[in-house]
């Protein structure tokens, strides 16, 4: 049975004074949708979007993931309207390296000028003087991981950090070699890649980062725009008297102590469901069944 509200254990970002609960919130879905343009424009109900953010913080969430290319600009402006003055201890993590075209397309913006502009836009739209964490999203390919040096991009963020505009730096959509390259330039506090019950290509990386005290933050923890569908997951949820998505989130939290989850939603009711997942304890036999989902997907 799903228990009372709670946000699991805490995690301290390496080399920082920032501690966050491992159950956070991803703000991407607060932006609207215009036809086939995903994460585009204002939401249909701005008041509900504001209510979601305030409900998250009221329930103890102190880790919000966002980016100024959500909307674009919309999500950060809603965060500012809903939460500023920001509560003490709230950590806002943003991403840079992309911009949006007129048709909603995701366009790489990894030049020194593009990254610098993105940092300033995030500061302006969030109403901040310094950003807590900026993730460089590696955009050699918008949809798939791709090799390539990120020395120039990480160096640019490190210089902005030295100017006092960024406290800490992370990576998103990054390969192991790129993570190693970045860490030779500047300390990396988190890595954000696609990872969930069905997509476990980063299993070894999760363990390596855990050994270094670096946070691993799965994006699309529930499958993204195509939610996870699995008989094993459905059956596990029935046994535990929870929803499949709650079990998928609980699995991530039990997978490794350095995993921080950031499920997104534009609904207060759905937010509450997601937060309750932090209180689920998955029995060993159910964990074994869930661990088989990835193997089944690989075979199929």
**Can you give the chain as a three-state secondary structure string?**
CCCCCCCCCEEECCCCCCEEECECEECHHHCCCECCECCECCCCCHHHHHHHHHHHHHCCCCEEECCCCCECCHHHHHHHHHHCCCCCCCEEEEEECEEECCCCCEEECCCHHHHHHHHHHHHHHHCCCCEEEEEEECCCCCCCCCCCCCHHHHHHHHHHHHCCCEEEEEEECCCHHHHHHHHHHCCEEEEEEECCCCCCCCHHHHHHHHHCCCEEEEECCCCCCCCCCCHHHHHHHHHHCCCHHHHHHHHHHHHCCCECECCECCCHHHHHHHHHHHHCCCCHHHHHHHHHHHHHHHHC
Is residue 70 annotated as a catalytic residue, yes or no?
Answer: yes
Q: Which of 70, 195, 216, 219 is catalytic?
A: 70
Active site residues: 70
């Amino acid at each position: 049975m799903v228990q009372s509200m709670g946000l699991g254990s805490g995690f301290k970002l390496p080399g920082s004074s920032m501690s966050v609960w491992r159950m956070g919130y991803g703000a991407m879905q607060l932006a609207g949708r215009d036809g086939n343009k995903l994460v585009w424009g204002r939401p249909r109900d701005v008041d509900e979007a504001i209510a979601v953010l305030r409900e998250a913080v009221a329930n103890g969430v102190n880790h919000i993931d966002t980016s100024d290319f959500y909307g674009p600009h919309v999500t950060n402006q809603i965060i500012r309207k809903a939460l500023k003055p920001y509560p003490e201890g709230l950590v806002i993590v943003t991403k840079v390296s992309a911009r949006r075209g007129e048709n909603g397309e995701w366009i790489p913006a990894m030049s020194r000028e593009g990254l610098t502009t993105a940092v300033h836009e995030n500061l302006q739209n969030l109403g901040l003087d310094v950003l807590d964490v900026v993730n460089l999203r590696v955009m050699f390919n918008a949809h798939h991981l791709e090799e390539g040096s990120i020395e120039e991009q990480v160096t640019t963020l490190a210089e902005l950090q030295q100017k006092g505009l960024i406290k800490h730096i992370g990576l998103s959509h990054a390969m192991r070699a790129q993570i190693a390259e970045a860490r030779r330039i500047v300390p990396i506090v988190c890595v954000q890649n696609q990872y969930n019950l069905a997509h476990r290509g980063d299993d070894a990386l999760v363990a390596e980062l855990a050994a270094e005290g670096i946070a691993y933050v799965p994006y699309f923890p529930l499958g993204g725009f195509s939610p996870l569908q699995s008989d094993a997951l459905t059956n596990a949820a029935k046994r535990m008297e929870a929803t499949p998505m709650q079990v998928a989130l609980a699995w991530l939290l039990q997978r490794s102590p350095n995993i921080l989850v950031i499920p997104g939603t534009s609904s207060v009711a759905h937010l509450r469901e997601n937060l309750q997942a932090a209180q689920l304890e998955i029995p060993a036999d159910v964990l074994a069944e869930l661990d088989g989902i990835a193997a089944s997907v690989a075979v199929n």
